[in-house]
Amino acid sequence: MRKVGIIGLGHVGATVAYTLVTEGLVDELVLIDQNEQLALSEEYDLLDAVVNLTNKTKIIIQDYQALADAEVIVFAAGQISALGKAGDRFKELAITSKIVEEVAPKIKASGFEGILVTITNPCDVIAAYMQKLTGFPTNRVLGTGTMLDTARMKQAVGRKLGISSNNVGGYVYGEHGNSQFVAWSTVTVGNRPLLEWNQELDLAGLTEDVKDGGWKSFAGKGYTSYGIATCAARLVRMILNDAKIVIPVSTYSEKMDSYYGQPALIGKDGVEAIVECQLTKEERASLESSVEIIKQGLAKLPLNAAK
């Protein structure tokens, strides 16, 4: 039996739930939100959808104890309106850190032994904070991190070259936020280095296109949902299927003593290995700067909150 929990049923959490149900990825789905009426409404709406699907999913709501035998929990609680027009993800931290302080002990008390995937902003700080407060091993707590930003990079490169983004490889590193950067030394097209395809590419302009892609998704709606929910659903699928696939997620690096977006091997045990890429001197400096921002955010939080 494949069982997944989702905590936080806003735009993203609800879209993750819908994706898992319609794709038939789970047999049981546990939905939890601070707004019980919202959880009830999502349950009934999803059950209406199940009627027209070939697969059937059992929905359980507002029950932390039901998480005990779940294989994955997706933590998507937050308040996107706190970002403001500038889209500063750190503006959510005062709110989302309090939610973690409330939820982490409940997850731990449930007896949950699976993999915890966090989406909540600021993603890297929240993933680190959730790991600290649950006490779970670092491989079992990961954030979606730069997975979405890497998708935006592939889309930007594909659009620029007039090819499918599926042909583009490589990674965005660091914070899921303003200090992220494209490690252009890792970017390939059809397994060839990007600049072998086109040496005249404006990498600085492409970098701005990558960052701008997120704000274009956000500006007219006041939130993003489809891209990040698809990332989370793919992570769930990879964990359930023990996929052993390398993707960029927010995970802990002993070398940097921090969570940040980096390529990792994902399987049934969560992060099963970190994949080290040879970054240039400039990229390494960008990574160090980005990690420092994440560390500064985490340093503002009371790490003994769950004690």
Lowest-pLDDT choice from 35-49, 207-221, 246-260: 207-221
- Measured in degrees and rounded to the nearest 5, phi and psi for residue 218 equal -85, -40
Residue 92 clears pLDDT 50, i.e. is over it: yes
Residues 13-28, buried b or exposed e (16+ Cβ, 10 A)?
Answer: bbbbbbbbbbeebbeb
Q: Which residues are catalytic?
A: 176
Strand partners, 267: 270
pLDDT one-digit tens code per residue, 262-278: 999 999 999 999 999 99
User: pTM for the full model?
Assistant: 0.94
Mean pLDDT for the chain?
Answer: 93
pLDDT at 80: 65
Q: What is the pLDDT of residue 208?
A: 86
Q: Which of 9-18, 74-83, 195-204 has the lowest mean pLDDT?
A: 74-83
**Is pLDDT of 72 > 80?**
yes
Mean pLDDT of 241-252: 98
> How confident is residue 87, by pLDDT bands cut at 50, 70 and 90?
low
Extract long-range pairs of 211-219: CB within 8 Å, 24+ residues apart: 211/178, 211/180, 213/152, 213/155, 213/156, 214/87, 214/148, 214/149, 214/152, 215/87, 218/83, 218/87
Domains belonging to the chain, first-starting first, are 3-143 (3.40.50.720), 147-299 (3.90.110.10)
